[in-house]
Structure 1
Amino acid sequence: MTNFYKKNIAIFVMFTLFIPNLVWGAEVDLNNYNYIISDAEALNYQSMDKKDIQEFLDSKGGYIANKSYMGNNPSPEQLALDPNKEYPKTRTTAEIIYNAAQEAKINPQFLITMLQKEMSLITDKAPTENQQKYAMGYDCPDRSGCAFKTSGFANQVRATAQQFAWDLGKDEETGKYRIYGYSWSPGKTSCADDYNSFLPCTSDGIEVTPENRITAAMYRYTPHVVGNMNFKRIWNKYGFGGEIDDEENDLPVAEPGFFPEGALLKSKGSQAGTIYLITGGEKRAFADMTSLLSRFDPDKVLLVDSAELDKYDNGYIIAYANYSVLESPDGDRYLIDGLTKRLIVSDEIFRQLGFNPDEIEKVSQSELDAYVTGDSLDASASPFAELWQDMSNEAIYLVKDGQKHRIVDQFIVDVNFPAMKIKDVTTKTLDDLKTSTPIKLVDGTLIKVETDARVYVISNGQRRLIPDGNTFGKLGYSWAGIYAVPSKIMNLHQLGEPILSRE
């Protein structure tokens, strides 16, 4: 696989993923992009002491509540002794937040909200190492990787606090607030969700005119509307701001059971638990690993809360391996092809397929009913998929049932068919086949364009936006599982509905 497609966690870990004009889980005044919180709120560094912070973290039940991290995060007492000395030490999350807030004179509630907005760390019970390593998304610009020198939970929290302290503070020589020296500054209109902040905005951009210093500083840190409106939503939800009124939320909200079609799910904390396929709004259990492995990549199984699985009705059990031959009580024989059953119309076709009678499994009608009826097998064209490559131009096709499906990029071969061998054939051999639709990425593949922060999951051949980091975590995905792809692969998949969920 080329370096272009390399999974690059450094690019992605900073993001609460964004799309213009989509605000999920809205509460308080999320239509005003120009104002997030007040300057006074951002600078209220005495809003919580260490005990208050610890109690708040405990109340949210996240993994980091009782976690400790190594870093240079001096306490107020240590800074008073020698502000230039380094004090590397393992400290609790609450200590790190408190010390950073006191040093930078930034509200600890602000830092808590940032941790949730960027990586869902306040509530995530099982965050990845990279979520913690790049906890604040600090020094992780949209179009390049995160800086190693500022990685680490403790470093991220302190560096973020210091950046906002710098932006909100005054220049010692001029006496002017530093934020006015940037493209994002109070009273100045700039472009969010765009290639850069300068006017005029492109069709992707949104004009924003920050009303105060902290709003400008936050757009400088995260130049995306949804990310900053998400901050406002969390801030108010946690009681750090205005009242919450869910009755006024008229934005789309995900229905129970929001996992995309084709998702493979397993309950967290269950080593030998049942694995399910989400299809048709139901969860279908795999009877054994053979029935799973013959159809899907086990690495795509997502670990999710059991409560999410309980939202789905149980469908038919998937009880037989792909390409099994099942015989009905009436003596009809069927080839299992994915989740369909295909009638083998004659003994001759049965022989042409390469089967022998010992491979037939006799089943009940109810077991056959678990599979949708597909096209009958009544010709010599093979139902078994193969990869063929035109020797004259190296174009690759998936060939099945007498039809050829173009594969537009080697990346799709690598992801969809990593173990399948490619057969070289002549152009004439391919010309004898009927041309069908191009092959798309397999369900569950996470993709983004190199220069765009937005991440999509493939579901039913469509790309569906994952609009925020909380939803990404709730879906059970891994940051390391995201592929950066060229536009031709992205555009091969029609844009579907975004995946929406409440926190």
Structure 2
Amino acid sequence: MKKIITYFCAFFLLMPQISLSAEFNPNFIITDEALQNKDTMTVSDIQIFLEEKNSALADFITEYQDGSRQKASTIIYNSAQKYSINPKYLLVKLQKEQSLITEKNPSQKQLDWATGYAVCDSCSKDDPDIQEYKGFAKQVDKAADVMRGYYEKVSSQAWIKRAGQTYNIDEQDITPATNATAFLYTYTPHLHGNQNFWTIWQSWFEQSYPDGTLAKTSTDTTVYLIQNGKKRKISNMTSLITRFDPKLIITITKSELDKLEEGIEIKLPNYAIVSSPSGYYLLDYDYKRKFDSYDVVRAIGYNPAEIMEVTDTELSEYLPGKNISADVKDLTGRLVQLKGTNNFYYIKDDTYAPILDKKIIQLNFPNLTIDKVDNSAFNNLNKTEPILPKNGTIIGVEGEATIYVMENGKKRHINNEETFLQYGYNWKNVVWISFSAALIIPEGQPLQLIEQLDNLDVVTTSDISSL
């Protein structure tokens, strides 16, 4: 096995960079910051991109709005700058609607209706009412214009989908997390079309790691948590070791890290008691749990010198958790084993949760001891869902050769050793759990490498062969 691993490591050092895949979340396709960042590519960058894709657009010149003749790269850049829309969005749009980035010999109709603007699924492209939008330059311009228009009119026009509202898309309830995601559904009200957009965007412009990944570069000791497509700087060692397992840190290139947007910095250690103008709180991972009073803090036995002063702004990044009263005994929860059995549970507040495999205890609760109890320990407690391995942990199934990474309560199959190593994972960090425990964990989308997009069917406006 060591020889195989050594061979693969050496092999991948010589390989060109391969895009990594995340899992499609229909509620969160793209951030507002990403959609509106007009300065991600220069004209030269766009031209080089088209040439690298061997796109017919690399040499395509057509009439521009001012009557001049311009290259496709210039038209894309100018529209992005004019409406403050990311040129990467326009490139993905051209591919999703008419495959124009990878098409070697596009038809005139593909070029004329390049972004699908003004064309509905059942509409005829010969309709006299839409001829004013015909032409490559007009299509690119309108694709950027309509997105800017959504931002300007979303507060006054109810028909424009918006973040936080739930919509039924293809018989599935979708609640967009960002306005940018909502606007994609406004423009293309179908799941398949927007998943195609996301797939192309991820393949071309994102280096995606599962939520919960801990990452650093080879030239900097700063560790980041990758969460919801953003990198969250972990500002001190105490915050790192009280919330995460440092063994799971992977090393990625600086260019990969730079592609990720900055998220909220993680500054405070886990299970710290903090004081703010609004009261006293216990920080419990991503939650802030307010103490009923300072007397409750004192009764627990915390040293006043250990209480950290923070602002309410610093606490705003935490979600509100359950309040802590004088009746709460174990702030960090309690691990128990039912006497005479191999059954383990995690008790917290008024709930208890089964633990699927004893090895999950070491993953999730390395600092808690196990107490043996009888059935009376569960009196007046409510049973909740089983405890699953944390985000970012690598699990294997005993008796099988299958390896998974955990992300948001699902296990994502790592389909081969090539993928495992390309993501920077370490064989020593694989935790082997029982088949029965693995069976209960829901299955997510496989974790795989996306090496090319040429064979992806991404056309959504119409069947190109019929044009």
Q: CA RMSD in A?
A: 3.0
1:294 aligns with 2:294: no
Residue type at the aligned position of 2:411 = R
Aligned pair partner of 2:286 in 316, 336, 339: 339
2:359–2:431 Cα contact (<8 Å) kept: no
Equivalent residue runs for 1:93-172 within 5 Å: 119=8, 121-124=10-13
Residue type at the aligned position of 2:306 = E
Residues 121 and 412 of structure 1, relative CA distance in 2, 3 Å threshold = same
2:352 aligned partner: 404
1:78 aligned partner: none
CA distance in 2, matches of 1:276, 1:416: 19
Any idea what the Cα deviations from partners look like across 1:406-464, whole Å, max 9, x if unmatched?
A: 11322222333344211122211223322111111122222233454432111122101
CA distance in 2, matches of 1:484, 1:425: 27
Higher RCO (CA 8 Å, separation ≥ 6 residues): 1
1:395 aligned partner: 343
CA distance in 1, matches of 2:420, 2:372: 40
Residue type at the aligned position of 2:294 = D
1:317 aligns with 2:265: yes
- Give the TM-score taking structure 1 as reference length: 0.49
CA distance in 2, matches of 1:410, 1:357: 36
1:383 aligned partner: 331
1:351 aligns with 2:298: yes
Residues 260 and 407 of structure 1, relative CA distance in 2, 3 Å threshold = same
2:364 aligned partner: 416
Residue type at the aligned position of 1:259 = Y
2:247–2:429 Cα contact (<8 Å) kept: no
Aligned pair partner of 1:247 in 102, 122, 127: 102
Q: Give unmatched runs, 5+ long, in structure 1.
A: 1-8, 15-63, 65-114, 127-244
1:264–1:278 Cα contact (<8 Å) kept: yes
Residues 13 and 461 of structure 1, relative CA distance in 2, 3 Å threshold = farther
Residue type at the aligned position of 2:446 = P
Any idea what the Cα deviations from partners look like across 1:176-225, whole Å, max 9, x if unmatched?
A: xxxxxxxxxxxxxxxxxxxxxxxxxxxxxxxxxxxxxxxxxxxxxxxxxx
Deviation at 1:402, TM superposition (A): 2.3
Residues 397 and 485 of structure 1, relative CA distance in 2, 3 Å threshold = closer
Instruction: Indicate the SS of the match to 1:480.
Output: helix
Residue type at the aligned position of 1:402 = D
Deviation at 1:248, TM superposition (A): 7.2
2:312 aligned partner: 365
1:492 aligns with 2:440: yes
Residue type at the aligned position of 2:309 = K
Deviation at 1:472, TM superposition (A): 2.1
Residues 246 and 474 of structure 1, relative CA distance in 2, 3 Å threshold = farther
Instruction: Indicate the SS of the match to 1:498.
Output: coil
CA distance in 2, matches of 1:386, 1:248: 59
Residues 399 and 283 of structure 1, relative CA distance in 2, 3 Å threshold = same
Residues 358 and 484 of structure 1, relative CA distance in 2, 3 Å threshold = closer
Any idea what the Cα deviations from partners look like across 1:125-165, whole Å, max 9, x if unmatched?
A: 69xxxxxxxxxxxxxxxxxxxxxxxxxxxxxxxxxxxxxxx
Any idea what the Cα deviations from partners look like across 1:298-331, whole Å, max 9, x if unmatched?
A: 1111111111211211111111111112222x24
1:441 aligned partner: 389
1:73 aligned partner: none
Residue type at the aligned position of 2:391 = D
- Give the TM-score taking structure 2 as reference length: 0.52
Question: Once the two structures are aligned, what percentage of the paired residues are identical?
Answer: 31
CA distance in 2, matches of 1:428, 1:463: 34
1:349–1:380 Cα contact (<8 Å) kept: no
1:352–1:380 Cα contact (<8 Å) kept: no
- Counting matched residue pairs gives 271
Residue type at the aligned position of 1:247 = T
Residues 356 and 415 of structure 1, relative CA distance in 2, 3 Å threshold = closer
CA distance in 1, matches of 2:4, 2:367: 30
2:357–2:434 Cα contact (<8 Å) kept: no
Residue type at the aligned position of 1:368 = L
Deviation at 1:124, TM superposition (A): 2.0
Residue type at the aligned position of 1:413 = I
1:384–1:401 Cα contact (<8 Å) kept: no
Any idea what the Cα deviations from partners look like across 1:79-100, whole Å, max 9, x if unmatched?
A: xxxxxxxxxxxxxxxxxxxxxx
Residue type at the aligned position of 1:444 = G
CA distance in 1, matches of 2:322, 2:403: 36
Aligned pair partner of 1:303 in 236, 242, 251: 251
Aligned pair partner of 1:281 in 217, 224, 229: 229
